[in-house]
Structure 1
């Protein structure tokens, strides 16, 4: 009998693997890895999670002496692509993108995997290159998927298809792989062609594709991570098979050793507990509402533990990046919470398992942090309806939950309720405000901005209002809108109580848009930025959307783009935009770069830095537009007044657009509308270090509209 050949030729490989017919992992990948000596792969994005899982898959293969080459596409953001297309150094942009991916992940399982990557690189077992499409000055994503196995006797297997070497790509998804065996008639030519394609890629000889070496800074960082985590690694596992189940030990909340509880935080917690664990903490932005609430939750859990009762802690936050901040905060108090957002397939099994352990007495606490949207979703509402253990609901930026869409979702079974907000009163929504108080209880503790500054919880600040006159075109549009608003008011409609969907509200938004986008603000901003050209930690808040225009005329330029052009291209200051479309991982990197004080001088934002973002290093803020809603300007001021090392005061420059003196507009209507603008400026000024400046700047305007009492 002829002996069976060794290596790849000795495997019973099929020409195609598809999830509905074969097990791609058991039938193809594991056997091939068990006998191959080299592996070349071009696939998907370079992300921290995928590369960490990948390392788990090849570690045993590498221990046998196997070597690997990997080509992946860097995860480029829109700003990265624009930088490349504008001629920025490609290597620098790619280095920034790969660094961003490593910064975005802090889980131990992923860091362990990245440490393995570093060790494989250091041992010469793994080499990585990055690819992207570059054609006619435009940048695109390289997303081809092909692979080649070689064995010790030179046999070749090439394959192409939809799968990735991750647990999700190979087990959870529906995948198909076409396999070409080099020793089989008809397959050999295809297998060699795939290998030649890979060789051309690796040598950067593929038209319209740009192949770059893996950034040296990132390579060194991975190698260092491998050295640092060498003794911390969990037992080796394999990404090509489901990881073993991990049993979480029951734990409890505990105050961190490094935490020094401030006197006002202690008073706030005592007030809430004294109200039977219900109430609202109305604390100025930046005074530590998050830590105060966690101190309260810890004290409550201590009481319940003495009674041998568990605690289910539910924290609700408006947006995903705030959920991420809360998770870090809760973990510092000794408990790893379940993040509840995005697909329920990710969080529902964990939530159900932990709640089951609580019911069986096997766990002392379950902590969950949910976005408003996921909290109100049917899946999570179903979970809430079945919780019978003591439940504490903590609402961050609680004013958002007063809307009719959310307040009906708040669980009536919650024994303990804590609302956090600097401005719990909803703007022109008494019904929503009353609903919040009915559910959470009254304001049990209040810490205003003045008191917070006096006690050193927030830093001092100066405030400089700058009046900007509208140009002729803006004035004409402003006059037309004011006339239409006057007609609505004459017909009995109220400016302060207007339905958000009414024609009057639309006119008011258009009028505010004219003021917010006033062209003269850019010239003043240029002068002020020039005066601060050598300063770090600067924020610019832009108006939303494009510049309003008369009916039938397209809207004007986007202010954020205009400001980015001014700051970056004209003044040559290092700047970056920070908007709702900015990915969460990118936001984290931007805030780190901004806080370093040696990289980004200016962040240019549109709404995204209003609520909840912790950016204490910010020292100078330029307000090109703020609504008259007190919540927005209070949040923006709070971003700038947080304490930081070497920061003794902040500076706020507020650009207020007004029509020229003598503009023919309805006096009473204009006076009523301007009242809200001046009240905002006065609110900023009265607690500043230079209130007299505010009064001097605003005096001519107050005299013109008979508002000296403000």
Structure 2
């Protein structure tokens, strides 16, 4: 007879202890009393840890947590590169839990596919965008001769192998949390978001893999991901792969001047901003102080004036005429290359798209139009494209060998993702080039240094 019975119920583990056993909730890890149902409960993601504890204490259990659908033997045609095999082995050695950090373009998806093959268990793949949803589903359909489920993009169908957006998984996790033995979180840094964390908490899958190019988050939320998915068990730097598995590359910083009129407007706005900071003792190096400024701007006219002045100054330095001239020179120099131009603002995207007749992709671009632009870029009909942030991650971008960062944030993740867009190996063995265009003697210099 079992000492403990454990089952899945609405994203939690229901635990019942035999009356003759001298155990209470306080004796067991992760378990709390639920006064509403008068039962003992644990978060679903603690399932593997609880099983390990029961085994270590020789506690006999009746376990009905997982209700896995049937999955036939699956094999993929992929052969792993040495570093990919090392990554998968590191994850396997860590009890099939943990995060793998590899550069964009290094084949993280391939590792995920081989993990599914290795585990041979029903698997849920969670992705941030519809583009990645379609990409993963297409790969799984090609590699494995089984139906592939989809949650998101207009479909709600669960199969033994299922791909879901984070949004759909958030809505369905408590319902399907017992259906999978493995969950793969692509772009796992998204899991650190306040709402998305619940996905991992509500799933009982004992095997967990996180894939990302940049694990650490500025807000420290990667520590939450560590608790929900596992420690970072493997990483490799882009420079370790460049030249053999990724294209060799150069990063060139070009500095431009503000025009006299731009400089006057920039200094005027900056003065308003810095004067307020000095009067209010706010230190912008602290993220919490910036949030304090935003909070004050709701009822303090001077704080609002300072915040708006800072935004106007940023607009001037990031959208300067010198950057337009620099881009013209780069495009002229690389007229025979495939170029992606990145900016931080939609208005600059459309301004440059019209000026240089470059197809533009922003968050306002319809999905069908975006696919058509990228398909034409892939086929060589277009040799350049300009975008604001939406191609940073989650989109299968065709090969390019030149990237131009006209403006961006201080995020190391953003910079790494943009660099990764040009690092797929070139047939001719050529080098990739990323240009950073930075406005001299402005706050953008600090922003650029921070992301590097």
Tell me if both proteins adopt one fold, taking TM over 0.5 as the criterion.
Answer: yes
The aligned residue for residue 646 of structure 1 is 428
Change (3 A) 1:644 1:254: farther
The aligned residue for residue 417 of structure 1 is 208
The aligned residue for residue 333 of structure 2 is 531
How far, CA to CA, are the matches of 2:311 and 2:223 in structure 1? 26
The aligned residue for residue 464 of structure 1 is 252
Q: 1:562 aligns with which of 343, 351, 360?
A: 351
Deviation at 1:445, TM superposition (A): 0.5
Asked whether the equivalents of residues 344 and 409 of structure 2 are also in contact (C-alpha less than 8 Å), the reply is no
Asked whether the equivalents of residues 466 and 656 of structure 1 are also in contact (C-alpha less than 8 Å), the reply is yes
The aligned residue for residue 3 of structure 1 is none
Deviation at 1:270, TM superposition (A): 0.8
Deviation at 1:481, TM superposition (A): 4.2
Give SS of 1:401's match. helix
Gaps of 5+ in 2: 1-68, 296-306
Deviation at 1:269, TM superposition (A): 0.7
Asked whether the equivalents of residues 291 and 329 of structure 1 are also in contact (C-alpha less than 8 Å), the reply is no
The aligned residue for residue 408 of structure 2 is 626
Give the greater-gyration-radius structure (CA).
1
Q: 1:324 aligns with which of 128, 134, 142?
A: 134
Q: 1:594 aligns with which of 377, 389, 395?
A: 377
Q: 1:381 aligns with which of 163, 173, 177?
A: 173
The aligned residue for residue 316 of structure 2 is 514
- In the TM superposition, 1:350-365 aligns within 5 A as 350-351=157-158, 354=159
Deviation at 1:489, TM superposition (A): 6.1
Deviation at 1:322, TM superposition (A): 1.1
Q: 2:103 aligns with which of 278, 284, 290?
A: 284
Change (3 A) 1:437 1:339: same
- In the TM superposition, 1:84-163 aligns within 5 A as none
How far, CA to CA, are the matches of 2:109 and 2:311 in structure 1? 33
Asked whether the equivalents of residues 394 and 418 of structure 1 are also in contact (C-alpha less than 8 Å), the reply is yes
How far, CA to CA, are the matches of 1:511 and 1:467 in structure 2? 17
How far, CA to CA, are the matches of 2:190 and 2:180 in structure 1? 24
The aligned residue for residue 406 of structure 1 is 196
Deviation at 1:502, TM superposition (A): 4.2
The aligned residue for residue 677 of structure 1 is 448
- In the TM superposition, 1:242-321 aligns within 5 A as 251-256=72-77, 259-301=78-120, 311-321=121-131
Asked whether the equivalents of residues 453 and 460 of structure 1 are also in contact (C-alpha less than 8 Å), the reply is yes
Could you state the TM-score of these two structures normalised by the residue count of structure 1? Answer: 0.49
The aligned residue for residue 389 of structure 2 is 607
Change (3 A) 1:409 1:501: farther
Q: 1:445 aligns with which of 225, 231, 234?
A: 234
Deviation at 1:616, TM superposition (A): 4.7
Deviation at 1:593, TM superposition (A): 1.6
Change (3 A) 1:373 1:329: same
Asked whether the equivalents of residues 614 and 639 of structure 1 are also in contact (C-alpha less than 8 Å), the reply is no
Question: How many pairs were matched up?
Answer: 368
Q: Could you report, residue by residue, the CA deviation over 1:410-429 in whole angstroms, capped at 9, with x for unpaired residues?
A: 235121111111111112x0
Q: Could you report, residue by residue, the CA deviation over 1:239-263 in whole angstroms, capped at 9, with x for unpaired residues?
A: xxxxxxxxx995443121xx22111
The aligned residue for residue 341 of structure 2 is 540
Give SS of 2:195's match. helix
Deviation at 1:464, TM superposition (A): 2.1
Gaps of 5+ in 1: 1-247, 302-310, 355-365, 546-557, 569-574, 661-669, 684-710
Q: Could you report, residue by residue, the CA deviation over 1:551-601 in whole angstroms, capped at 9, with x for unpaired residues?
A: xxxxxxx21121112212xxxxxx31122233333333322221223x112
Q: 2:267 aligns with which of 468, 471, 479?
A: 479
Change (3 A) 1:515 1:391: farther
The aligned residue for residue 658 of structure 1 is 440
Deviation at 1:520, TM superposition (A): 1.5
How far, CA to CA, are the matches of 1:316 and 1:409 in structure 2? 9
How far, CA to CA, are the matches of 1:679 and 1:446 in structure 2? 21
Asked whether the equivalents of residues 71 and 122 of structure 2 are also in contact (C-alpha less than 8 Å), the reply is no
Structure 1 vs Structure 2 CA RMSD: 2.5
Give SS of 1:641's match. coil
Deviation at 1:438, TM superposition (A): 1.0
Asked whether the equivalents of residues 129 and 394 of structure 2 are also in contact (C-alpha less than 8 Å), the reply is no
Deviation at 1:511, TM superposition (A): 4.1
Change (3 A) 1:657 1:300: same
Q: Could you report, residue by residue, the CA deviation over 1:582-628 in whole angstroms, capped at 9, with x for unpaired residues?
A: 3333333322221223x112111111210033335201112111211
Give SS of 2:249's match. strand
Deviation at 1:284, TM superposition (A): 1.2
Change (3 A) 1:390 1:678: closer
Deviation at 1:267, TM superposition (A): 0.8
Higher RCO by CA contacts (8 Å cutoff, separation 6 or greater) = 2
Asked whether the equivalents of residues 174 and 203 of structure 2 are also in contact (C-alpha less than 8 Å), the reply is no
Asked whether the equivalents of residues 616 and 644 of structure 1 are also in contact (C-alpha less than 8 Å), the reply is no
Give SS of 1:404's match. coil
Change (3 A) 1:561 1:267: same
How far, CA to CA, are the matches of 2:326 and 2:369 in structure 1? 30
How far, CA to CA, are the matches of 1:539 and 1:652 in structure 2? 10
The aligned residue for residue 31 of structure 2 is none
Asked whether the equivalents of residues 488 and 504 of structure 1 are also in contact (C-alpha less than 8 Å), the reply is no
Change (3 A) 1:426 1:536: same
How far, CA to CA, are the matches of 2:76 and 2:355 in structure 1? 47
